[in-house]
Amino acid sequence: MQLRLLLLPLLLLLFLCAHSPAALASNAGGHEKSLTQYKLDSWQTEQGLPQNAVTALLQASDGYLWIGTLGGLARFDGVRFTTFDASEFADIASHPVVGLMQDSHKNLWIGHNKGAAIYLNGKFKPAFAAPANVDQRVWAFAEGADGVVWAATNNGLARWQNRFYHVTDGLPTERLRALTFDRDGVLWIATSGGGLVTYTAGQFRVFNPDNGFPHLEVRAVLADPAGGIWAATAGGGLVRVQRDKIKVYTVADGLPTDQLTGLARDSHGRLWIGTWGGGVSLMSGERFTALSSANGLAGDHVWSLHTDNQGEVWVGTWVNGLVRMRERAFGWIGVPEGLSHDNVRSVLYGRNGVTWVATSGGGLNRIDGAGITKLGQQQGLPSDEISGLLEDPDGALWIGTYTGGAARLAQGRVSTYGVDAGLPSAEVRMLFRDRQGQLWAGTAAGLARFTGHGFAPVHADGAPTGGVTAIAQDRHGTLWFGTAGEGLVRYRDGVFKALTRSDGMLSNWIMSLYEDKAGGLWVGTNGDGVNRLRDDRVSAIWPADGLWDGTCLSILEDRRGYLWFTTNRGFFRVARAELDGFAEGRIGKVVSTAFGAAESMRSTTFAGGLQPASAMHDAGRLLLPTTRGLVVVDPDKLPGAGLAPPVRLEKVSVNGVSQDAAAAMSLPPGPATVSIQYSAMTLLHAERMRYRYQMQGLTPTWIDTGLNREVSFPALSHGSYRFRVVSSLDGQHWSEAGPGLAIEVAPYFHQTAWFKLLLADATLAALMALYRLRLHQLRARHAEMERQMAQKTEALRLADEHLSRLSFLDALTGLANRRRFDEVLAEEWNRACRSGEPLALILADIDSFKRNNDALGHPEGDRCIAAVAAVFMSHARRAADLAARYGGEEFVLVLPGAGRDAAMLVAEAIRSACETLAIIHPNSRVAPVVTLSLGVAVCVPSNALAMASLIEGADAALYQAKHEGRNRVCLQEHANELVPA
């Protein structure tokens, strides 16, 4: 043991005062976040942009983001780009688009290098057509209070359906760049080479360097709600013009450059500024902050800028595509905020509001309201690779490290303990003090107890000998130790006992432990789910039961009764009441709300295998360590909580031909393949929107499609249908289902009710005619009774043969029944014994058929069985082949003379053909359609073998197929070693 005395001032050597992380955590949902708290997403041509030079941006009232590029126009729903093909939209498709505006009538105005266009209801029409012998480019639009639309062009100022204004009318130049109306109705005009111009009461007024305006090149103008405008110049900085007063902001005031390109104002009143060479700048009050390529922005040359109605900032760059700046959903404390290292391994919320953050490589960080203090090897700690933390009741801090054992910090004194002090390993993952006062150390090589001067390894029977991953003590005093491969170890009455998979544990690799307020011990595993122990009863909850992920690196419980789990791809929460209900058999599934990459997190990989791998702030916020800093989560301010925007239908394709997504559509007779595309009317969190649909007339229940934005129906038969779709962000709150899309598939004449009525009448008439004919024949042949009796006898014999044949058929499927199968198999077995030829047997079972029946009902189940039977019937192609129904959803195919390869080819063909049917299976754990698992057995029958062993071999192969995940074919590998007779 080493002992070092450190002066308290020495502990403050690395005081970082640039940020206040405590304040940052408390304002995780506020609007004063630094730009380091923004998540940047980029799209280029590889993701669907027509071209990487993004020249204009606009969010329309329908929620779409319209994008102008030098390669044409695009529309973006947050996930997919829609471009406009030249074959359909020749007038607009290939033109560089530089200006966009939506007017009060929801018309979209599009400025391009050949003029302008108006878009409404899927149609484009030309506007502002300049003479062919002049520059026709239209840069921008503005709508006045009277509804008149104005345009800034390279040929002067244009007034819709009226006239053009030129230099002869008072303009200093005809090369205009941007327009805006201020709150007083004055039209402000940005020019290229003529300064800033106003137009009101039929008069133009020019602001240029002669009267105090700093530059002649003006790239953008933006009206200020308080009056006047802001102007972005190409070399004179940012200009505020109000009541003839001009105020200029330049590099000297904090701008990254004086060459500005765009302006936008967000819903919080902050001004966003695009620059040429300096990225994006934010003006809040009189203070500027900037974000450039050095901070992750795709490009420093900004051409266009737009803020949408959900607070996201969209940036169009010169050659680097489209960028979205989104406030991260959660607060972050990392290196940009002053932390010494981003790889955070554990966090402890201690006394007096101090947060201790352990990093792997950056030592220990102390966070309070003043800032961050770093403690590391220079301050006496044995290593900068910190693992677990523990605060004693007296305020002393125990510190575990990965390479240097443990340390104790108390009143400025650092005491260190290594392997020479009794620790089993220098890698100390956690320190834990039980209610009896005993201090335990969990290491990579087992447990140790603190003796007061050093540590003593624990070598008792049943104690962990490898890595210890978690320690907890329940309300009864029992200690629990999670291990890396040895299961969950219980220490009670001085005895260690391991609980493993054989005792009901999901895994022997435990990652986290937590005792809830009701006395339940929750055990998180390394990928298999969660166990609950209560009153010595073990319950298991798998990912298939509703958990978002099977890995549970840490577990916390918030004030609202939710359990929070961190994983290697994000974190999620589940109501503890639901988890208890599932564990006790009262509900069949739990609902998880997950937060991952879609929430713009810097990292989705969280810490685990040590303690504390997460912590709860006294204000109820969660502190979650990741490989890129500490996440601060306020459970009362979750992103998108309850957000359920309506869904729009985007495109409908019938037999591969696109149609307008109208309210109703009629299709001609015949099977129709219908594909429907849809999306939520929001850009915010669009990439994590979930959808479910209902096709009334086909699917009686809602079908969850996850993130998919398209659904196809391969063969709609004649009838009436209605497609409806809803969206959700959290899987709990769903949007209202609109009227949807009505689809009417017309029947062929022979499918109509009239035809069926006529057919019934004709059948009845035919039966009557036959009856009369038969009666006439009986009377005519009364004298020939003996011959008639002989005919009757023969008819009875034929009928008996027919009934005998019927007794071999399954009524539902038309296949041979079990009785017929048994007879044929015995015949073929005996024949093969004589001939020495092989005999193959394929046994199949419909995957999760009971779930299908439960979800869709028995009539649909019968139709499913009949469809699968038809597949088997079609593959019994030789005279000797026999397809039979073996049981409820089981089928069998006898293939005389078929060897191993031939039988496997037939089995795989059956499996593939069944999957191709695309029969909807809403609750399958394998696929969204009905699938088969098949077992194949092949042997050369002989008198030394029992026929039943062939069936048992096929059944064993079928069981193997199910065990390996279903929807597959498995072969009984040792078919010639079947059970002897």
CA gap 757, 755 in Å, rounded: 5
Strand-pairing partners, residue 204, are: 199
CA gap 502, 481 in Å, rounded: 17
pLDDT digits (tens, 9 = 90+) for 561-613: 999 999 999 999 999 999 999 999 999 999 998 888 766 688 899 999 999 99
Angle at 482 between CA 479 and CA 484, to 5 degrees: 155
CA gap 846, 844 in Å, rounded: 7
CA gap 7, 659 in Å, rounded: 78
The pLDDT assigned to 88 comes to 60
Distances (CA, A) of 685 to 5, 328, 391, 636: 52, 11, 39, 18
CA gap 895, 822 in Å, rounded: 14
The pLDDT assigned to 976 comes to 46
Distances (CA, A) of 621 to 387, 528, 532, 685, 970: 22, 27, 25, 22, 52
The pLDDT assigned to 24 comes to 38
**Shortest CA distance to 818 belongs to which of 867, 888, 911?**
888
Residues in Cβ contact with 478 at an 8 Å cutoff, skipping those fewer than 6 apart: 490, 491, 492
Give the DSSP per-residue string, 687-709.
GG-EEEEEEETT-SS-EEEET--
**Shortest CA distance to 463 belongs to which of 450, 477, 445?**
445
Residue with the two structure tokens 């030129």:
166
The pLDDT assigned to 975 comes to 45
> 211 by DSSP, 3-state: which?
helix
Q: Is there a contact between 622 and 632 (Cβ–Cβ < 8 Å)?
A: yes
Residue with the two structure tokens 């624990």:
458
Encoded tokens for 897: 């003379």
CB-based burial label for 265 (10 Å; 0-12, 13-18, 19+): middle
pLDDT digits (tens, 9 = 90+) for 207-243: 999 999 999 999 999 999 999 999 999 999 999 999 8
Backbone angles phi, psi at 426, to 5 degrees: -75, -10
Give the DSSP per-residue string, 799-836.
HHHHHHHHTTB-TTT-SB-HHHHHHHHHHHHHHHHHH-
CA gap 333, 19 in Å, rounded: 10
Neighbours of 240 (CB within 10 A): 15
What is the distance between the terminal CA atoms of the chain, rounded to a whole angstrom?
A: 75
Cis omega (within 30 of 0) for bond into 612: yes
Encoded tokens for 75: 């529309």
**Shortest CA distance to 715 belongs to which of 919, 549, 869?**
919
Backbone angles phi, psi at 244, to 5 degrees: 65, 5
CA gap 521, 793 in Å, rounded: 80
Stretches where the chain sits below pLDDT 50 are 1-31, 974-981
CA gap 804, 509 in Å, rounded: 61
pTM, entire model: 0.64
DSSP letter for 872, please.
Answer: H
Q: Is there a contact between 216 and 194 (Cβ–Cβ < 8 Å)?
A: yes
CA gap 484, 756 in Å, rounded: 70
